[in-house]
Amino acid sequence: MIFWNPMRLCVEGGLGGCKPPPLDDSGLESWGSKLDIRCMSACDSACYFARRLGDAGYEVVFAGGCVRDRLLGIEPKDYDLATSATPAQVLALFPKANEVGAHFGVVIAKKDGHHVEIATFRTDGSYKDGRRPDSVTFSTCEEDAKRRDFTINGLFENPETGEVIDHVGGRADLAAGLLRAIGDPQARFQEDSLRLMRAIRFSTTLGFEIEPQTLAAIRQNASLLNRISPERIRDEFAKILRSAKRRRGVELLTETGLMEHFLPEFCSLIGCEQPPEWHPEGDVYIHTCIMLEMLEADASLELCLAVLLHDIAKPPCQTFDEVAGRIRFNGHDALGAEMAEVILRRLRFSNDMIAAVVPMVARHMQFMNVQQMRTAKLKRFMAERTFSQEMELHRVDCGSSNGFTDNYDFLIQKAAEFAAEPLIPPPLVTGRDLISLGLKPGPRFKEILDLIEIEQLEGRILDRERAMDYLQELTSEHFA
In a domain, 92, yes or no: yes
Could you tell me if 331 and 307 lie in one domain? yes
**Residues 287 and 165 grouped into a single domain:** no
Asked whether residue 231 is domain-assigned, the answer is no
Residue 212 lies in a domain: no
Of 31-35, 108-112, 219-223, 349-353, give the lowest mean pLDDT range. 31-35
Q: Give yes or no for a contact between 275 and 288, defined as CB atoms under 8 angstroms apart.
A: no
**Whole-structure pTM value:** 0.85
CA distance 111 to 278: 58
In whole angstroms, what is the distance from residue 328 CA to residue 320 CA? 6
Q: At what angle do helices 284-294 and 246-255 cross, to 10 degrees?
A: 150
CB 303 within 8 A of CB 392: yes
Number of folded domains in the chain?
A: 3
Phi, psi (deg, nearest 5) at residue 138: -70, 135
Pair (269, 161) in one structural domain: no
Residue 131 is predicted with a pLDDT of 66
Same domain, 359 and 436: no
Q: How confident is the model at residue 55 (pLDDT cuts 50, 70, 90)?
A: very high
Q: Flag whether pLDDT at 27 surpasses 60.
A: no
Residues 43 and 117 in one domain: yes
For residue 308, is pLDDT > 50? yes
Poorest-pLDDT segment among 113-127, 190-204, 305-319? 113-127
pLDDT at 4: 38
Give the span between the Cα atoms of 479 and 447, in whole angstroms.
12
DSSP state of 153: G
Q: Are residues 390 and 466 in the same domain?
A: no
pLDDT tens digit string along 276-307?
988 999 999 999 999 999 999 999 999 999 99
Per the domain annotation, does 399 fall within a domain? yes
Query: Using CB atoms within 10 A of its CB, is residue 263 exposed (0-12), middle (13-18) or buried (19+)?
Result: buried
We report the CATH number of the domain holding residue 80 as: 3.30.460.10
Please indicate, yes or no, if residue 214 is contained in any of the structural domains.
no
Instruction: Let me know if residue 138 belongs to a domain.
Output: yes
Helices (H), 256-300: 264-267, 284-294
In whole angstroms, what separates CA 268 from the centre of its chain? 23
**pLDDT value for 126:** 67
pLDDT at 416: 96
Q: Which residue among 148, 176, 204 closes a domain?
A: 176
State which amino acid sits at residue 35: L
Q: What is the CA radius of gyration of the chain?
A: 29
Please report, for residues 178, 189, 223, 262, 306, the alpha-carbon distance to residue 233 in angstroms, rounded to integers and kept in the order given.
23, 14, 13, 8, 18
Boundary-marking domain end, from 126, 161, 176: 176
Q: Using CA atoms, how far apart are residues 54 and 61, in angstroms rounded to an integer?
A: 9
Residues 152, 268 within the same domain: no
357 shares its domain with 383: yes
Q: What is the rounded CA–CA span in Å between residue 176 and residue 171?
A: 9
Query: Which run of H or of E encompasses 107?
Result: strand 106-111
Q: Which helix (DSSP H) or strand (DSSP E) does residue 115 occupy?
A: strand 114-120
Task: Give the percent of the chain with pLDDT over 70.
Answer: 88
What does the buried/exposed string (b/e) look like for 282-319 if buried means 16 or more CB atoms within 10 Å of the residue's CB? Answer: bbbbbbbbbbbbbbeeebbbbbbbbbbbbbbbbbebbe
- How many C-beta neighbours within 10 Å does residue 403 have? 9
Handedness of CA 180, 186, 191, 197 (dihedral sign): positive
User: Given 176, 206, 235, which residue is the final one in a domain?
Assistant: 176
> Do 49 and 166 sit in the same domain of this protein?
yes
pLDDT tier at 8, thresholds 50, 70, 90: very low
What mean pLDDT comes out for the span 32-51? 68
**Is 350 contained in some domain?**
yes
CB atoms within 10 A of CB 322: 7
Residue 130 half-sphere exposure, CB side, CA atoms within 13 Å?
17
Domain of residue 137, residue span: 6-176
Give the Cα separation of 186 and 218 in Å (integer): 8
282 φψ region: left (φ > 0), alpha (ψ -120 to 50), beta (else): left
Q: What is the CATH number of the domain that holds 345?
A: 1.10.3210
One domain, residues 435 and 400: no
Which alpha helices (H) appear in 28-73, and where do they start and end? 40-55, 65-71
What pLDDT shows up at residue 2? 32
Q: Are residues 88 and 161 in the same domain?
A: yes
pLDDT attached to residue 475: 81
Determine whether 453 is exposed, middle or buried from the number of CB atoms within 10 Å of its CB (0-12, 13-18, 19+). buried
24 has pLDDT over 50: no
381 within a domain of the structure (yes/no): yes
Q: Are residues 313 and 449 in the same domain?
A: no
Q: Which amino acid is at 211?
A: E
Tell whether the model's pLDDT for residue 313 goes beyond 80.
Answer: yes
Instruction: Give the least confident one: 5-19, 161-175, 181-195.
Output: 5-19
